[in-house]
Structure 1
């Protein structure tokens, strides 16, 4: 059984970033990255559906230590995957990744001050476990048992497992959904399909944005590469944070602005209401990004259409909706959402006691109450994932270095629920369906202090990189010494 100082679970954006920070900020620690799949990339290796792309700009979604150099700020999935391979190779991270190592369980022993980590092939021990597998279930997406589905004679696919042999050229396609995946698929498939219909039960807020950032291009043209990257990154972080704050503070005005912008881009044949006027407030759910207005262009050209209704039943050659209309289809894409999991579905035990993750609270947005020497890396919901994940990795390195300096081996957060934890809130505080479905699985957050996720990069930057590590709720200890027996 091999022992390492740190085991990182997952070789996607978060895992690769974590590996770099360990190498540079805590270089005396041995580490390995355990990846369940056959290749690195995480989400960007898994999803292969047409049009797959980022919904955050690559100057902030990319790594601060390895600037994004391509022209497009909103990048396609294959380009992002190439970027991740390039990063892992350049910094030697790929030599630390062990593929086809799905972590099944992890058991902590206080007496030994270490984790025993079980994969499908072998076991490891480590002093610190860092889970960077995100919170999506990579095995399956959310599948709805639609009425009459067995009667449909066409092909039904889920975006999470896109079949390589699917040829939709000249076919009639119905995409069920209104979220980020659906608004990506519709214009991408409209280029080859006979017609694409987006069938949604209720709309989402959508915003158009140029795929290329003209101001960033000008900055890169006049400043050295490193400085230009920092300036662009800071600009984009500030813009996103200020926009999010304004939308949350003035939701009615934000809704009016978003709805008016969408209405200007729609053809006269498609009214904004009911197709693009959501029932919720802006940022109660994540905002859908449309690069270069490609969705609205497809709607204007007539290669795509939108129907807002509920499904009555599938038929042999399409879908009948509640209004009585029939939508003909040869291919149906069920962009019905993802499933969330906590810590990659790893079964945790602490000193023989099973851990119900839902009963725990997150400390500093990463550690679980009552669980020693473990961190879980998640990103922002209102900004680029990497902004938060990189702060988390740097905090983990600070924590490891503090343990070395103080010659302690165990750190565990403990919450006073009466002071911080009531009323408990979901760790991901949005109203999206995939989040509500997973509420019973995910850990929770408190109301204040280090137990509250701020969703604010500036505050987290100060708290995670500059503020002291010591806090009354974070306990540093060593394993209990065995009692000495006297003759």
Structure 2
């Protein structure tokens, strides 16, 4: 069994992991690091998802890295372009040389006596051990090897092909075929207009609708200013414009949901044929941002429906026949291909086990510190992006904060940093505060949040910039210069 050591071990070579490595090279140049990637490619989500039309659900001025401007014209970018952007960034900053592919982390054990993590890795058919002073998990929060498919009674009767978007076959030919896409989330609203371009017909079958907002695929302000102002001015200007407009819309949604519902309804009504049943197919029972909004570039979903190339059915699935899907009342939707765009499986910290001085860490009993560290867990951080804004906005803040923390520890000779919950602090909500099915199915596995900062994530980027980029690094944090008594993993009273 081979053993090696680095100062910082990053788990995941996707958007977050590559960004974290670049920040380390820029801000902590004396630290050694490695990136472990379970798959054999850079890109994470953007390498894994290959279904038709796959694209960003945030604008690239905020999904792009703060330190490397997105310079393409399209603000809503396709998956291949994002994948190349991540890979180009890794090459430009030289962090691609630090990636170890086909390295699946299965567990990590912290030793206070040694002030280090021992990380267990599966590489091919062998087990390896790597030690590190700081463990930085950038693997997201969903399961890469298996998407979520609910029980679909009678689906074995269907004679056509059944596909989950997370595992799209390279040779799937939908040209001239009848397609039923089961689902109503971001993946479904992406698939439907893309497949409708060449399919005989595409039906989006949803049990309940989602809120959908049409946005331009190109940023009007960026188009206006491109070539007139320097790129170093253009990128942050458009980035902050998009941050603030998204934050304003989110706050309006939470404070005046009825007004936002009316706005979204009128937007859909304007882009659909006269008399279309908007209230059945585009009016969810929940309030805006209880679940993520779905954005459609240039209204492509509405255009596909208006043209007749696609249709939406809102109903319960009753069963399947050899030639299609039956809904309540026995009506059959004919299909040659059924796509189960039914969601994700949640898998916090990549499914690895965590142990602190022999005691297993139960994530659901910990409190999240600044949305990125865990109570009682030393020298550990994880990246979870915003639910109401671009993922990268938060991952950039987390990576920069980790660098600040590491430099603070070096300057003062500290070997351990452990978030400590003040007495009387109680848990209130899960770290991922959404009513989405993938969250609710795994809510007990998620860290919790407290009532106030630094134990509460407010889904507010400008506020987090002040907290994480300019705020203190020693608030509710215990630092140790030498091995000390074992920290207590369970702090506060999660509920």
Name the TM-score, length of structure 2 as normaliser. Answer: 0.95
**CA distance in 1 between partners of 2:148 and 2:252 (Å):** 32
Please list the CA deviations of residues 415-458 of structure 1 after superposition, one character each: whole Å capped at 9, or x if unmatched: 13623x24x21111111111111101111111112110011011
Q: Which residue of 1 aligns with 2:75?
A: 73
Superposition pairs of residues 61-460 of structure 1, within 5 angstroms:
61-121=63-123, 122-268=128-274, 270-416=276-422, 418-419=424-425, 421-422=426-427, 424-460=428-464
* SS in structure 2 of the partner of residue 85 of structure 1: helix
Counting matched residue pairs gives 479
Contact 2:212–2:296 (CA under 8 A) maintained in structure 1: yes
> CA, structure 1 residues 481+63, in 2 after alignment: closer, same or farther (shift >3 Å)?
closer
Contact 1:341–1:442 (CA under 8 A) maintained in structure 2: no
Please list the CA deviations of residues 377-404 of structure 1 after superposition, one character each: whole Å capped at 9, or x if unmatched: 1111111111111000000001001111
Please list the CA deviations of residues 215-272 of structure 1 after superposition, one character each: whole Å capped at 9, or x if unmatched: 1111222111111111111111111111111111111100010011101111136310
Please list the CA deviations of residues 292-329 of structure 1 after superposition, one character each: whole Å capped at 9, or x if unmatched: 11101110110100000000011111111013211011
**CA distance in 2 between partners of 1:418 and 1:186 (Å):** 50
* SS in structure 1 of the partner of residue 406 of structure 2: helix
**CA distance in 1 between partners of 2:118 and 2:401 (Å):** 23
Shift of 1:481: 7.2
* SS in structure 1 of the partner of residue 445 of structure 2: coil
Does residue 474 of structure 1 match 2:480?
Answer: no
* SS in structure 2 of the partner of residue 81 of structure 1: helix
Q: Which residue of 1 aligns with 2:488?
A: none
Q: Which residue of 1 aligns with 2:42?
A: 40
**CA distance in 2 between partners of 1:449 and 1:466 (Å):** 14
Superposition pairs of residues 12-51 of structure 1, within 5 angstroms:
12-51=14-53
Q: Which residue of 1 aligns with 2:489?
A: none
Does residue 8 of structure 1 match 2:10?
Answer: yes
**Alignment gaps of 5+ in structure 2:** 486-495
Contact 2:4–2:130 (CA under 8 A) maintained in structure 1: yes
Contact 2:115–2:483 (CA under 8 A) maintained in structure 1: no
Shift of 1:145: 2.0
Q: Which moved more, 1:195-204 or 1:409-418?
A: 409-418
**CA distance in 2 between partners of 1:332 and 1:131 (Å):** 35
**CA distance in 1 between partners of 2:461 and 2:452 (Å):** 17
**CA distance in 2 between partners of 1:384 and 1:223 (Å):** 25
Please list the CA deviations of residues 348-369 of structure 1 after superposition, one character each: whole Å capped at 9, or x if unmatched: 1111111111111100110001
Q: Which moved more, 1:444-453 or 1:172-181?
A: 444-453
Contact 1:309–1:323 (CA under 8 A) maintained in structure 2: no
Shift of 1:479: 3.5
Name the TM-score, length of structure 1 as normaliser. Answer: 0.97
Contact 2:323–2:334 (CA under 8 A) maintained in structure 1: yes
- The runs of at least 4 aligned residues of structure 1 exceeding 2 Å deviation read 416-419, 478-482
**Alignment gaps of 5+ in structure 1:** 483-487
Contact 1:58–1:73 (CA under 8 A) maintained in structure 2: yes
- Over the aligned positions, Cα root-mean-square deviation in angstroms equals 1.1
